[in-house]
Chain A
Amino acid sequence: MTVTPLTGTPTPPRAARTTGSPAAADQQLDPTNVAGKYGLSPADLERFGEEMDAIRKRIVADLGEEDAAYIRNVVKTQRGFEVAGRALFYLPPAWPLAVAALSISKILDNMEIGHNVMHGQYDWMGDPGLNSRMYEWDNVCPSEQWKYSHNYIHHTFTNILGKDRDIGYGVLRMDEDQKWHPYYLGNPVYAFLLMVFFEWGVAMHDLEVENIVAGKRRISDNKALHAGIMRKVRRQALKDYVLFPALTGPLFPLTLAGNATANLVRNIWAFNIIFCGHFPAGVETFTEAESEDESRGHWYFRQLLGSANITGGKLFHLMTGNLSHQIEHHLFPDLPARRYPQVAAEVREICERYGLEYNTGRLGKQLFSVAKKICRLALPDRHAPRPGTPAASDQEEPWTRSA
Chain B
Amino acid sequence: MAPTRSLTRAVLGSRTLAALTSPHGVDRYLELVNPMWAVHEVRARVVAIERETDTANPVATVTLQPTSTWAGHRAGQHVQVGLELPGSRRFTRVFTISSAASGPGERFTLTVRANDGGTVSSYLVEQARPGQVLHLSQALGDFVLPDPVPPRLVLLSGGSGITPVMAMTRTLLRSGYDGRITFLHYAQTPAHQIYADELAALAAADNGVDVHLVHTEAGGALFTPAALADVAPDWAEVDAYACGPAGLIERVQAAYADTDRLRVEYFKTPAVATGDAEGTVAFTRSGEQSANSGATLLEQAEAAGLRPEFGCRMGICFSCTARKSEGTVRNVLTGEESSLPDEDVRVCVSAPVGDCAVEL
Contacts and interface: CB of A to CB of B under 8 A. Distances in A.
Contacts of A155: 312, 316-317
B88 A68 contact: yes
B88 A151 contact: no
Interface in A88-144: 119-120, 123-127, 129, 132-133, 136-138
Contacts of A148: 311, 319
A64 B311 contact: no
A79 B318 CA distance: 27
Interface stretch (B20-28, B68-76, B289-297): B20-28
A337 B15 CA distance: 35
Nearest to A152: B311
A125 B90 contact: yes
Contacts of A247: 20
Contact of A133 (B23, B88, B318): B318
Interface in A56-86: 57, 60, 64-65, 67-69, 75-76, 79, 83
Interface in B330-360: 333-334, 344
A156 B320 CA distance: 14
A201 B134 CA distance: 41
A348 interface: no
Given A67-B88, A156-B316, A79 B19 contact: no
Nearest to B313: A156
B171 interface: no
A58 to B, nearest CB: 11
B67 interface: no
Contact of B90 (A65, A126, A132, A235): A126
A125 B318 CA distance: 15
B247 interface: no
B88 A65 contact: yes
Nearest to B316: A333
Nearest to B90: A126
A163 interface: no
A269 interface: no
Nearest to A76: B32
B20 A244 contact: yes
Contact of B19 (A124, A125, A243): A243
B317 to A, nearest CB: 4
Nearest to B331: A60
B318 A334 contact: yes
Contacts of A83: 29
A151 B311 contact: yes
B212 to A, nearest CB: 42
A299 B89 CA distance: 30
B208 interface: no
B335 to A, nearest CB: 9
Contacts of A244: 20
Contact of A129 (B28, B88, B89, B315): B28
B91 interface: yes
Interface string B52-83: 00000000000000000000000000000010
A376 interface: no
B312 A132 contact: no
A57 B334 contact: yes
A70 to B, nearest CB: 10
B318 A120 contact: yes
* A interface majority secondary structure: helix
Contact of A123 (B28, B29, B318): B318
B245 to A, nearest CB: 28
A147 B311 CA distance: 10
Nearest to A86: B20
A118 B23 CA distance: 14
Contacts of B321: 132-133
A125 B89 contact: yes
Contacts, number: 88
Given A123-B344, A296-B314, A152 B319 contact: yes
A239 interface: yes
A235 B19 contact: yes
B16 A156 contact: no
B327 to A, nearest CB: 19
A156 B32 CA distance: 36
A238 interface: yes
B148 interface: no
Contact of A138 (B20, B23, B312, B319): B23
Contacts of A67: 88
A138 B86 CA distance: 31
A243 B17 CA distance: 10
B312 A64 contact: no
Given A65-B86, A79-B29, A152 B317 contact: yes
B92 interface: yes
Contacts of B317: 147, 151-152, 155-156
B287 interface: no
A156 B87 contact: no
A199 B22 CA distance: 16
A79 B24 CA distance: 10
B314 A124 contact: no
B204 to A, nearest CB: 46
Contacts of A296: 314
B334 A156 contact: no
A60 B336 CA distance: 11
B316 A243 contact: no
A53 B335 CA distance: 12
Contacts of A334: 315-316, 318
Nearest to B22: A235
A310 B153 CA distance: 72
Contacts of A129: 28
A156 B317 CA distance: 8
Contacts of B334: 57, 60
30 contacts: A65-B87, A67-B88, A68-B88, A119-B318, A124-B89, A125-B89, A125-B90, A126-B92, A127-B84, A129-B28, A132-B321, A136-B24, A147-B318, A147-B319, A148-B311, A151-B317, A151-B318, A152-B311, A152-B312, A152-B319, A155-B316, A156-B311, A156-B312, A236-B23, A239-B19, A247-B20, A296-B314, A333-B316, A334-B315, A334-B318
Given A155-B317, A243-B16, A334-B315, 7 more contacts: A65-B88, A69-B88, A136-B23, A136-B24, A137-B23, A148-B311, A152-B319
Minimum-distance CB pairs A-B, first 4: A68-B88, A152-B311, A126-B90, A136-B23
